[in-house]
Structure 1
Amino acid sequence: MSEYAQPGGLPDKHQVAASFSRAAESYDAVAELQRNVGTQLLARLPASLQPQRWLDLGCGTGYFTRALAERYAPGEGLAVDIAEGMLRHARPQGGAAHFIAGDAEALPLQSDSVDLLFSSLALQWCADFPRVLSEAQRVLRPGGVLAFSSLCVGTLQELRDSWLAVDGLVHVNRFRRFEDYQQICAVSGLKPLTLQRQAEVLHFPDLRSLTTSLKDLGAHNLNPGRPGGLTGRSRIRALIEAYECFRQPQGLPATYQVLYGVLQKPSQA
């Protein structure tokens, strides 16, 4: 069992939705990683794919909803997110026929209703990943494709290690192991076309820039057991000192271990 899957180790879904809703207005300004990862996921889609109906799951502010609409016109697009604040931001910008509040573990869609389910950097927040794949299989038409990116153990490892040197408490979100994703996908009934892990590294001039970026994304620490209240100055100084050990010429690194998966629902015989 991965650390992500341990009982009590997952963020509450309502807290995740509320955090991303609050971040809707600030999200796009700091979403460099999200745009890069989503663009790489688009590039991994089968070239022959021409969906009549597609779904952007965890659509956020709708950046990739609009990219999918441009790529797959005149197909019909649907956009789903658990955070109503994100949907309010995305709807006026268009791209999808419908923007729907919904959960990846219980999709508000009919069975066999979409040809492509695209989800970039959203499914790491789902506790029951086998259920996510079961729902994807249900809503995909035969031959349909699930393309997703997610985060693995090792993400923000520099920040995690720096906090461990200070107090050993939970300050960084937990994620599944790559091996867990491999095992779950292998028994899902969907055929893996691509399942790859790739490190993406961002650099920041200082620790405050990193933590502010995480907050503006809505992706700051949401784990149960996270420390409450304000962090004392002495601990912040100790954290800065610990993180400075990782400094590179480009700045302080923040490493993300990104999983790219493309799975296909078997065609009917």
Structure 2
Amino acid sequence: MSELRGALHAFPGAHGAPYGEAALPDKRQVAASFSRAAASYDSVAELQRNVGSQLLAHLPVSLQPRRWLDLGSGTGHFTRALAQRYAQGEGLAVDIAEGMLRHARPQGGAAHFIAGDAEALPLQDASVELLFSSLALQWCADFPRVLSEAQRVLRPGGVLAFSSLCVGTLQELRDSWLAVDGLVHVNRFRHFEDYQHMCAASGLQVLALQREAQVLHFPDLRSLTSSLKDLGAHNLNPGRPGGLTGRSRIRALIEAYEHFRQPQGLPATYQVVYGVLHKP
């Protein structure tokens, strides 16, 4: 039970509140959390691998970048996949978490591994033909700034391909916590409609923008909490409840979550946004 208490605030979910800078954690906390999770991340990153693979499949077949960027590169899984796909190009890997970069660098895949922020990319103007980012941009409060930076660093004809998360992610968890105490135990994400409006106003041509649900199943709540904690995506919301969660609240959460049980186990639903944008 103590292990479960310690993990209960580690959920990257959707609270359903209005999205804005006040809803997001300090980026230094995000970087530190993912740095600590670098060694354990790949062992529990089933969703991340599935989503990134689908994003790769969304890339235009004709695209052959001379230089590409993996933004939010993490442990480098898709950095290496991009390097294999675009063997003739030069790869750059950028992540805000130094620990992730230290973990990824010895495994190769990119010419350079760079600590950087998606809202202020450490790249020159018109320097890449592909900006690939899978499940990283949901941590950015100023998404229009991310799009502006992508437009700046892309060469004419270049492509931004991203996946992110929107409201509805881990809805089962959100509803279960609401039944217990209604406090903020999960991270907030923007609405899908916000992605639509911001991409349309970005100056980039929207080739594809869609939302797809992906569902993972777990035998029990402890398995779910442990998996999310190992990913490093802790709940760092301002106003989150402090300290450990009491036994009675844990039991109430388990009981509430059990109402969602399916034959495959306890579901954890992610609402994934896929976007492919083109710079004219």
TM category (shorter chain) comes to: over 0.9
1:29 Cα offset (Å) = 0.1
Q: Which residue of 241, 246, 263 corresponds with 1:249? A: 263
1:49 corresponds in structure 2 to: 63
AA matched with 2:33: S
Which stretch of the first structure deviates more once superposed, 217-226 or 207-216?
217-226
Q: Which residue of 210, 217, 229 corresponds with 1:196? A: 210
Q: Distance in 1 between matches of 2:242 and 2:83?
A: 42
AA matched with 1:88: R
Q: Which residue of 12, 27, 31 corresponds with 2:26? A: 12
1:131-155 CA distance string (max 9 Å, x none): 0000000000001000000000000
Task: Tell me if 1:101 matches 2:123.
Answer: no
Kindly indicate whether structure 1 or structure 2 has the higher relative contact order, using CA contacts under 8 Å at least 6 residues apart: 2
Q: Distance in 1 between matches of 2:66 and 2:18?
A: 36
AA matched with 2:246: G
Q: 1:28–1:263: structure 2 CA closer, same or farther, 3 Å change rule? A: same
2:89 corresponds in structure 1 to: 75
Q: Which residue of 33, 36, 41 corresponds with 1:22? A: 36
Q: Distance in 1 between matches of 2:88 and 2:18?
A: 39
Q: Distance in 2 between matches of 1:208 and 1:223?
A: 22
Kept after mapping to 2: 8 A contact 1:211/1:220: no
1:220 Cα offset (Å) = 2.5
1:264 corresponds in structure 2 to: 278
1:63 corresponds in structure 2 to: 77
Q: Which residue of 232, 238, 252 corresponds with 1:218? A: 232
Q: Distance in 2 between matches of 1:90 and 1:79?
A: 9
1:151 corresponds in structure 2 to: 165
Q: Which residue of 117, 124, 129 corresponds with 2:138? A: 124
TM-score (norm 2): 0.93
1:185 corresponds in structure 2 to: 199
1:86 corresponds in structure 2 to: 100
1:4 Cα offset (Å) = 5.2
Tell me, which stretches of 5 or more residues in structure 1 are unaligned?
none
Q: 1:62–1:4: structure 2 CA closer, same or farther, 3 Å change rule? A: farther
CA RMSD of superposed structures (Å):
0.8
Q: Which residue of 138, 155, 168 corresponds with 2:152? A: 138
Q: Distance in 2 between matches of 1:228 and 1:19?
A: 17
Kept after mapping to 2: 8 A contact 1:170/1:226: yes
Task: Tell me if 1:236 matches 2:250.
Answer: yes
1:7 Cα offset (Å) = 4.9
2:219 corresponds in structure 1 to: 205
**Structure 1 runs of 4+ with >3 Å offset:** none
1:111 corresponds in structure 2 to: 125
Tell me, which stretches of 5 or more residues in structure 2 are unaligned?
1-15
1:6 Cα offset (Å) = 3.3
SS at match of 1:8: helix
1:166-214 CA distance string (max 9 Å, x none): 0010011110100000000000000000100000000000001111111
